[in-house]
Structure 1
């Protein structure tokens, strides 16, 4: 691993964040990282509009942001607040010109948003029927190839038996109707995407806490049929029964993960890379943002990882970006990844309140 960093000047001087922190990041040879935008507090999920606007949800800020790079130089010149006063609006999904935003028990939509960035429309209610708990209440959103909106409902706890209303992934029509359960036994997924070719939905899932530093692992899972159960709260990481809820159960009864991502790495946003800028070995790979552990004796995560696949078989699991944490002190926490049309990839960081752009040039 070699350190290759591209620091992009904004005006006469670099923002303090880039000047003091970005040079700590390490990437494989030929890869570069630059600041795309700062002033995006608590930046979480990202979505890209039809005109290239990058939308970013947030947590503590209660706001949704629109980032615009009008001249195509790889830097967003303007950061707008397009919605505020929402409860944990971390999830954003763009569909047919409209931006859907999660807000715990509610999903709202901003109609025709790219034509109204300077005077955003009032959010319209899509549904208010989701659970009200804020523990794992923030929701990653995405529209599937079927035109349905996919919404996770996390377990309202560290460990409990939350079925049938929690611990699952559902889908609905864009108007908020037609709810269907997609999969269950999911503690809290904060990232999912559809694999090019197979069309299968893959997702990250956060393992439970308070079983020690090294178990259970976070999971990377593949849904191959509607209605599959992925184990929570009975079986963790495909092979470890829960000391309380696993009694009388067998891990063989649940779908095991395709890959164990590591204990407490807090795997969040993930996307398949289908661009052409990165080397050919990255085509079809999964890029995962690992937010980082909160109570592990030695920190884990705080990185962006690449999972290379052949079909649904894992070929490798290797770092794309490290350095957000040194000597047990973290300055950044990756939250989501978002490929752009030019083949570069954005990374959101909710601790630094920034979005970075990763490019490849040998």
Structure 2
């Protein structure tokens, strides 16, 4: 990594201000998982708690990212960031594994987010929300309409995770258009829209959210929980990425002034308020671990102790001297929605000794039978984790 020193400039306080094109290309490749191990699945290296098994549920799914499911679980929709396609995987014979793969759209711009509601599939590009009506009946001949096309078109943190909340609205994050900066109010936020309104106007639900690529609602309270990726270039160990709890609209989670609840930003911290004015994370998830997709577990297959726990896919660090993340974790809450602890649930995509990586978890999704899907945009596949008594 020493060669990187030739490609950035440091300020007197040691903060990195910008990168040259060569460094940007290096970072882009690292973020997309492009290395010599890409696409080489090594299931034998993966470790899970006793009684759990992992298998490749679907392979040859380029850049498999966000996941969504139809009403009965027979079709899984897969978003895409580095590529331009949206896929549907259908289990047409009822054996629990997909036997048909459909490309629903191609040539889109970072169609990372997918969500299903009332028979329709919704897809989020950088600036647009698309709707594929009655998608289950049109997998082989799909078409879409544009629901809304006025989101910002900035590519930096422009890829989106989307999901419908208990209120029936579609929640759409708008990431910060930078590593660290002040920007227009729409950026660094989670918005929501009524997809059936005659005139759609995004409403900001949460502020100060640098880049969330995963959220879910507590199965009992209906409160929103989300992951958030911390800023880069403050060293190996700060700031932590975050798991946040937003029980109501209008809360501010600190970016760009404060990170992880107690780390004052060296460039923008003095422009903000005191740290008490912002919502601290419900849990710190480690520095640069890149937590993405998360889901509350509500199934009956896993042991009872996992009920209402949060499973989080950690994509893994790219700008840390020693890699971290590349795992699926389990966050345990008490009856008052307070985090008790976080535990590693599935690991082995990163070899801690050699620092070699062959896979990067992105999203998690619970199937109707209670098993758990995990997408991997580096190994280009989707795993299924199940429990055997």
Normalization by structure 1: what TM-score? 0.93
Residue by residue, what CA displacement relative to the aligned partner does 1:83-102 show, whole Å, maximum 9, x if unpaired? 11110001000011000001
Distance 2:94 2:332 in 1: 29
**Contact 1:51–1:114, Cα closer than 8 Å, also in 2:** no
Provide structure 1 residue ranges, at least 5 long, that are not aligned to the other structure: 1-15
The 3 A distance-change label for structure 1 pair 18 and 64 is: closer
Residue number among 157, 161, 165 corresponding to 1:144 in the alignment = 165
Distance 2:117 2:201 in 1: 17
Distance 1:223 1:19 in 2: 38
**Contact 1:34–1:358, Cα closer than 8 Å, also in 2:** yes
Match of 2:274 in 1: 250
Q: Name the Cα RMSD after superposition.
A: 1.5
Residue number among 259, 263, 270 corresponding to 2:283 in the alignment = 259
Deviation at 1:39, TM superposition (A): 1.3
Distance 2:240 2:183 in 1: 20
Distance 1:114 1:89 in 2: 19
Matched, 1:106 2:128: yes
Number of residues paired by the alignment?
A: 346
The 3 A distance-change label for structure 1 pair 178 and 352 is: same
Deviation at 1:70, TM superposition (A): 2.5
Matched, 1:237 2:260: yes
Match of 1:345 in 2: 372
Deviation at 1:68, TM superposition (A): 1.3
Deviation at 1:224, TM superposition (A): 1.7
The 3-state SS of whatever aligns with 1:330 is coil
Residue number among 310, 324, 327 corresponding to 2:349 in the alignment = 324
Provide structure 2 residue ranges, at least 5 long, that are not aligned to the other structure: 1-36
Match of 1:35 in 2: 56
User: Which has the higher mean CA deviation after the structures are superposed, 69-78 or 180-189?
Assistant: 69-78
Distance 1:81 1:203 in 2: 29
**Contact 1:37–1:79, Cα closer than 8 Å, also in 2:** no
Normalization by structure 2: what TM-score? 0.87
The 3 A distance-change label for structure 1 pair 292 and 215 is: same
**Contact 1:67–1:78, Cα closer than 8 Å, also in 2:** yes
Distance 1:163 1:251 in 2: 21
The 3-state SS of whatever aligns with 2:55 is strand
Listed as ranges, the matches of 1:1-362 within 5 Å are 21-52=42-73, 53-120=75-142, 122-175=143-196, 177-247=200-270, 249-310=273-334, 311-326=336-351, 327-362=354-389
Distance 2:41 2:382 in 1: 15
Residue by residue, what CA displacement relative to the aligned partner does 1:153-202 show, whole Å, maximum 9, x if unpaired? 00000000124120001100013614211010000000000001111000
**Contact 1:18–1:35, Cα closer than 8 Å, also in 2:** no
Deviation at 1:20, TM superposition (A): 5.2
The 3 A distance-change label for structure 1 pair 19 and 264 is: closer
The 3-state SS of whatever aligns with 2:178 is coil
Deviation at 1:19, TM superposition (A): 8.9
Distance 1:360 1:17 in 2: 28
Distance 1:338 1:259 in 2: 21
Distance 2:285 2:72 in 1: 34
The 3-state SS of whatever aligns with 1:119 is coil
